[in-house]
């Protein structure tokens, strides 16, 4: 249950089912009460007819003057019955429908005119709902008291209730489905702003947006505002770190320059060993300063919106610079770049990547360097190959590790490929090393288009 949508849907479904179940039971109970009220009204009508038809017939007790109109009283075990008896049970009149069954009326303390209700066993194992009343005759010389009862089979009530429930349950099921669909739609619509927040956060992370912005409901807008404030604070922290790194670099460059000049004076005095040691230390410090400056600039720029950069001017500019170097002027440069291809990488970072990769190819190539840029599906493919000695398969994994150098005889710091890998990772790009068709090392870079 990690899904908020699933939680809300389950909670709403359970609530709907529980509410409809309670409502269904309540409706059945109300229907049963209404049916009993109607049955009691019918029994009261029969009871009044019985009382109105009773006649004093002499010492043998009352008799029924006119038969009741409902034919069920004449049909054995029809479900509708009546019975009249005196208080001591010395005589008794029964409907033909009772046949050989006698209603066992309980010995209640009856009050004339006040009906009583009973649930008594009936013929053939049935259960009856009985309405009883005490009647006192006022006649000359006698005041007989009789008990008049009318009964109906409760199976009719049970059957009516079952039929009502059977007809109501499909309607409740359809209502539950409709309410569940409405709840699902409500949950989807209600959670849609969170999906918008997620997409905008993703766009901020991918450098397609600067901030989440507004336009959210009142319940979600404070979250978006706090996230934007957090992004603002992050940018301020990065800017402060960038400024401190720049200050540190500027503070170290002057002493390093002085140190390099001192190295020259030491060599002039013949103290070559000390001069080499100091020069090595100075170069190491300069490498680390330049590397950290590049990393701080990368951290600051990637979080901003990266403008699409054309690769052709970058590649042409780096190649032109390398051609002016003694090593690059002796090489053949085969460059094939589509001028219309643009990558979603910052211009400075793209120069960092292309510059390091081409400088590496220039160092190791014997006579030829090939540079190719083309579209490859949903990405831009930058391929650089040289005809140098290449790299053995077991050593390919070491390339790109910070400070790793396979040949100490060739000048370098071992940080170029590591920095390239960091830049590409920040932009979601990939770097692949392998054997080039020209015979040396092949570098393939996939950049976001």
Q: Are residues 325 and 298 part of one domain?
A: no
Degrees, nearest 5: CA angle 32-108-117? 15
pLDDT of residue 143: 63
Q: Are residues 297 and 315 part of one domain?
A: no
pLDDT of residue 414: 46
Last residue of some domain: 160, 175, 201? 160
Residue 71 sits in which domain range? 6-160
Query: What mean pLDDT value characterizes the chain?
Result: 82
User: Considering the domain boundaries, does residue 15 fall inside one?
Assistant: yes
Q: Is the pLDDT of residue 409 over 50?
A: no
Whole-number Cα distances in Å, 395 to 60, 219, 405: 127, 56, 10
Lowest-pLDDT choice from 40-44, 223-227, 254-258, 337-341: 254-258
12 or 68: whose pLDDT is higher?
12
User: Considering the domain boundaries, does residue 55 fall inside one?
Assistant: yes
CA distance 420 to 241: 21
The rounded Cα 271 to chain-centroid distance in angstroms is: 72
Q: Is the pLDDT of residue 179 over 90?
A: yes
Q: Is the pLDDT of residue 122 over 70?
A: yes
User: Considering the domain boundaries, does residue 444 fall inside one?
Assistant: yes
User: Considering the domain boundaries, does residue 435 fall inside one?
Assistant: yes
User: Considering the domain boundaries, does residue 122 fall inside one?
Assistant: yes
Q: Which of 90-94, 188-192, 348-352 has the highest mean pLDDT?
A: 188-192
In the structure, what pLDDT confidence band is assigned to residue 19 with cuts at 50, 70 and 90? very high
pLDDT of residue 413: 40
Last residue of some domain: 108, 128, 160? 160
pLDDT of residue 24: 93
pLDDT of residue 306: 61
Lowest-pLDDT choice from 127-131, 178-182, 225-229, 436-440: 436-440
22 or 245: whose pLDDT is higher?
22
The angle that helices 221-268 and 272-302 make with each other, rounded to 10 degrees, is 160
Look at residues 166, 125, 156, 119 and name the one whose alpha carbon lies nearest to residue 42: 156
CA distance 200 to 183: 26
Lowest-pLDDT choice from 23-27, 30-34, 41-45, 430-434: 430-434
Q: Are residues 148 and 10 part of one domain?
A: yes
pLDDT of residue 128: 92
In the structure, what pLDDT confidence band is assigned to residue 290 with cuts at 50, 70 and 90? low
The arithmetic mean of pLDDT across residues 21-45, rounded, is 92
Q: Are residues 414 and 313 part of one domain?
A: yes
Q: Is the pLDDT of residue 438 over 80?
A: no
Look at residues 32, 263, 303, 335 and name the one whose alpha carbon lies nearest to residue 161: 32
Q: Is the pLDDT of residue 218 over 80?
A: yes
Provide the edge-to-edge strand list for the sheet that holds 116-121.
92-94, 80-86, 145-153, 127-136, 116-121
409 or 31: whose pLDDT is higher?
31
SS3 content of the chain, % helix, strand, coil (to 5): 55, 20, 25
Number of domain units in the chain: 3
CA distance 445 to 441: 13
User: Considering the domain boundaries, does residue 316 fall inside one?
Assistant: yes
The arithmetic mean of pLDDT across residues 174-187, rounded, is 92
In the structure, what pLDDT confidence band is assigned to residue 175 with cuts at 50, 70 and 90? very high
In the structure, what pLDDT confidence band is assigned to residue 267 with cuts at 50, 70 and 90? confident
Q: Are residues 292 and 372 part of one domain?
A: no
CA atoms within 13 A on the CB side of 398: 11
The arithmetic mean of pLDDT across residues 207-225, rounded, is 86
DSSP label at residue 142: B
pTM: 0.50
269 or 372: whose pLDDT is higher?
372
Q: What CATH number should be reported for the domain holding residue 423?
A: 3.30.565.10
Q: Are residues 315 and 290 part of one domain?
A: no
Q: What CATH number should be reported for the domain holding residue 294?
A: 1.10.287
CA distance 351 to 349: 5
Please report, rounded to a whole number, the percentage of residues in the chain having pLDDT higher than 90: 21
Q: At 64, is the secondary structure helix, strand, or coil?
A: strand
Q: Are residues 407 and 318 part of one domain?
A: yes
First to last CA, the chain: 38
In the structure, what pLDDT confidence band is assigned to residue 173 with cuts at 50, 70 and 90? very high
Q: Are residues 155 and 11 part of one domain?
A: yes
User: Considering the domain boundaries, does residue 197 fall inside one?
Assistant: no
Q: Strand 368-376 relative to strand 332-337: parallel, antiparallel, unpaired?
A: parallel
Q: Is the pLDDT of residue 37 over 80?
A: yes
Q: Are residues 62 and 135 part of one domain?
A: yes
Last residue of some domain: 302, 331, 357? 302
pLDDT of residue 398: 56
Q: 């976001």: which residue's tokens? A: 448
Please report, rounded to a whole number, the percentage of residues in the chain having pLDDT higher than 70: 86
Q: Are residues 26 and 96 part of one domain?
A: yes
User: Considering the domain boundaries, does residue 262 fall inside one?
Assistant: yes
Q: Are residues 314 and 254 part of one domain?
A: no
pLDDT of residue 416: 66
Identify whether the C-beta of residue 370 lies closer than 8 Å to the C-beta of residue 438.
yes
Degrees, nearest 5: CA angle 202-203-206? 85
Q: Are residues 400 and 362 part of one domain?
A: yes
């Amino acid at each position: 249950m990690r899904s908020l949508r699933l939680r809300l849907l389950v909670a709403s479904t359970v609530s709907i089912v529980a509410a409809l179940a309670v409502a269904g039971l309540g409706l059945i109970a109300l229907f049963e009460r209404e049916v009993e009220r109607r049955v009691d009204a019918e029994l009261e009508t029969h009871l009044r007819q019985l009382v109105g038809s009773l006649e004093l017939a002499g010492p043998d007790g009352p008799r029924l003057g006119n038969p009741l109109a409902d034919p069920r009283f004449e049909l054995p075990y029809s479900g509708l019955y009546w019975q009249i008896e005196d208080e001591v049970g010395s005589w008794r009149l029964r409907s033909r429908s009772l046949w050989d069954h006698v209603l066992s009326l309980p010995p209640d303390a009856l009050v004339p005119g006040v009906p009583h209700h009973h649930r008594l066993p009936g013929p053939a194992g049935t259960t009856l709902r009985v309405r009883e009343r005490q009647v006192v005759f006022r006649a000359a010389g006698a005041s007989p008291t009789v008990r008049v009862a009318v009964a109906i089979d409760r199976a009719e009530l049970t059957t009516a209730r079952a039929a009502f429930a059977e007809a109501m349950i499909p309607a409740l099921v359809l209502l539950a489905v409709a309410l569940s669909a409405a709840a699902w739609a409500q949950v989807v619509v209600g959670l849609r702003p969170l999906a918008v927040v997620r997409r905008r956060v993703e766009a901020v992370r991918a450098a397609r947006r600067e901030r989440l912005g507004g336009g959210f409901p009142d319940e979600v807008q404070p979250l978006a505002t706090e996230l934007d404030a957090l992004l603002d604070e992050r940018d301020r922290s990065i800017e402060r770190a960038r400024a401190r790194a720049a200050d540190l670099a500027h503070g170290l460059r002057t002493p390093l320059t002085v140190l390099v000049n001192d190295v020259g004076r030491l060599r002039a005095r013949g103290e070559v060993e000390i001069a080499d040691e100091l020069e090595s230390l100075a170069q190491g410090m300069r490498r680390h300063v330049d590397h950290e400056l590049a990393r701080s600039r990368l951290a600051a720029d990637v979080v901003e919106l990266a403008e699409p950069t054309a690769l052709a001017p970058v590649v042409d500019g780096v190649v032109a610079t390398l051609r002016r170097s003694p090593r690059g002027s002796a090489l053949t440069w085969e460059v094939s770049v589509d001028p219309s291809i643009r990558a979603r990488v910052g211009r400075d970072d793209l120069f960092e990547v292309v510059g390091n990769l081409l400088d590496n190819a220039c160092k190791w190539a014997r006579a030829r360097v090939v540079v190719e840029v083309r579209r490859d599906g949903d990405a831009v493919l930058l391929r650089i190959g040289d005809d140098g000695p290449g790299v053995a398969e077991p050593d390919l994994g070491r390339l790109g590790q910070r400070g790793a150098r396979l040949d100490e005889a060739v000048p370098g710091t071992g940080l170029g490929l590591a920095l390239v890998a960091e830049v590409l990772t920040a932009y979601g790009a990939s770097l692949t090393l392998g054997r080039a068709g020209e015979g040396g090392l092949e570098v393939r870079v996939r950049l976001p288009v």
